[in-house]
Amino acid sequence: IGFFWLHERAWERLRFGREEVQPVVVWLTGLPASGKSTLSQWVSDALRRKGFKVEQLDGEMVRRLFPQTGFTRPERDEHVRRLGFLASKLEQQGVCVVAATVSPYADSRAFVRSVCRNFLEVHVATPVAECERRDPKGLYAQARREEIRNFTGVDDPYEAPLSPEVRVDPGTMTIEQAGTQILAAVQERMRSRPGPNDRSGDVAQTR
């Protein structure tokens, strides 16, 4: 028993021949009904099966916790920054984060990138026509009838990422194909050693 105990303690301190991984913040951004949540679930499940600690965050879930948050640009910006700050804190604790949120503005996403150490932006680039066709809640139709305002893709802009780490289109590929592409990029980033506030990827746009 004593030999086994000493072996375990020594193995925990031995780094030679062992691959060290870095937690990743996977940020899925795209139009409403683009498939972000479905992809987020697929990637989260795949990472858990590989033994990683994973926390899945969803923009709608956080809005339910803060129901006073509206949909003006300042309110959307606050919402995304709040979600990004939470993701960065989980990352610091060694947890991989998979976040699915519209996050329509480039400057808000740039803030999230700046507070995360290992940030991987995924643009779920489903065209607006396809999002509107598959919309399960009928929100696009309500926005077209002006029953709801400030709806991204109708009367509020979506600033698509210029150079995300990953771009997928669930309208032209299966969820498994898109998820596999994201998972490959995540695993590559886990093996890399990015510097703090790595800003490669999304570039802020001006309106």
Helix axes 36-49, 175-191, angle to 10 degrees: 50
Query: Helix, strand or coil for residue 21?
Result: coil
103 is catalytic: yes
- Here the tokens at position 61 are 């879930």
Q: Is 69 exposed, middle or buried (0-12, 13-18, 19+ CB in 10 A)?
A: middle
CA nearest 98: which of 22, 182, 29, 25? Answer: 25
How many residues are listed for the chain in this entry?
207
Helix (H, G, I), strand (E, B) or coil at 40: helix
Catalytic residue among 34, 37, 40, 103: 103
Give every strand in the sheet of 166-168, ordered side by side.
54-58, 96-100, 25-29, 119-124, 166-168
Query: Closest Cα to residue 29, out of 177, 202, 204, 206?
Result: 202
Look up residue 76 and give its amino acid.
R
Known catalytic residues are 103
